[in-house]
Amino acid sequence: MKKILILFPLMLLLAGCGIFSTEPYIKTYFFDIGSPVAKINASNFKIDNVTFSASSMYRQKMVFRVASNTILFDEYNRWTMSPDSLLRRSFVMAVLDSATQYQNEELPHYSIVGQIMMLEADIPGKSVSLGVLISLYDTKESKKLIWTHLFAQKKPVHKITGQTFAKSVRELVDNIINEVGILIEKNIK
């Protein structure tokens, strides 16, 4: 009887640890949007600061819309960083790759401030959407607001997976980088 009393808690412990589980192991995949293809030609101005923010909903988990009012947070497909960090990195790389090393201090100095409004894959609609509210500030003139613009991008996809989601987001970010570069150039002229 003593052996049964010792063996029973041990069996419960092993069962609780999942040793007898019939559920298959599901691997977690991490995705990144990579380096931007688009560049912002920063030869006529200087970008002093780039910051992005996102609501707490958009953390590392990928967000999938499964119905008009239903969101699914994927436990097994995740971003390598938070989406605001991914966008900040892309914009910094887009500016630094085209900026000259020795810039004239008389050039306009700007700060880019963005907020991710939407970043999701719509499963029924078979599309990926990215909405970013971006403001451009003149850094020299006490953070004077130059313009604010909502960039809303949507890309249709054949099949939504973590990989197609990440690839589509990179393409949408490249489109937004191009549009921001054009608006900054218009401001200088």
In a domain, 15, yes or no: no
In a domain, 84, yes or no: yes
If you average pLDDT over residues 35-60, what whole number do you get?
Answer: 88
CB 169 within 8 A of CB 120: no
CATH number of the domain that 79 lies in?
3.40.50.10610
5-9, 15-19, 36-40 — which one is most confidently predicted on average? Answer: 36-40
In a domain, 18, yes or no: no
pLDDT bracket for residue 14 (50, 70, 90): low
- Total count of domains within the chain: 1
Q: How far apart are CA 124 and CA 7, in angstroms?
A: 51
- Flag whether pLDDT at 75 surpasses 90: no
In a domain, 172, yes or no: yes
Q: pLDDT tens digit string along 107-139?
A: 888 999 999 999 999 999 999 999 999 999 998
In a domain, 138, yes or no: yes
User: What percent of the chain shows pLDDT beyond 70?
Assistant: 84
Q: What is the pLDDT of residue 96?
A: 79
If you average pLDDT over residues 160-185, what whole number do you get?
Answer: 95
In a domain, 17, yes or no: no
Burial of 178 (0-12, 13-18, 19+ CB in 10 A): middle
Residue 134 or residue 186, greater confidence: 134
pLDDT bracket for residue 43 (50, 70, 90): confident
Q: What is the pLDDT of residue 59?
A: 82
If you average pLDDT over residues 162-182, what whole number do you get?
Answer: 96
pLDDT bracket for residue 183 (50, 70, 90): very high
Residue 18 or residue 165, greater confidence: 165
Domain extent, residue 51, equals: 26-188
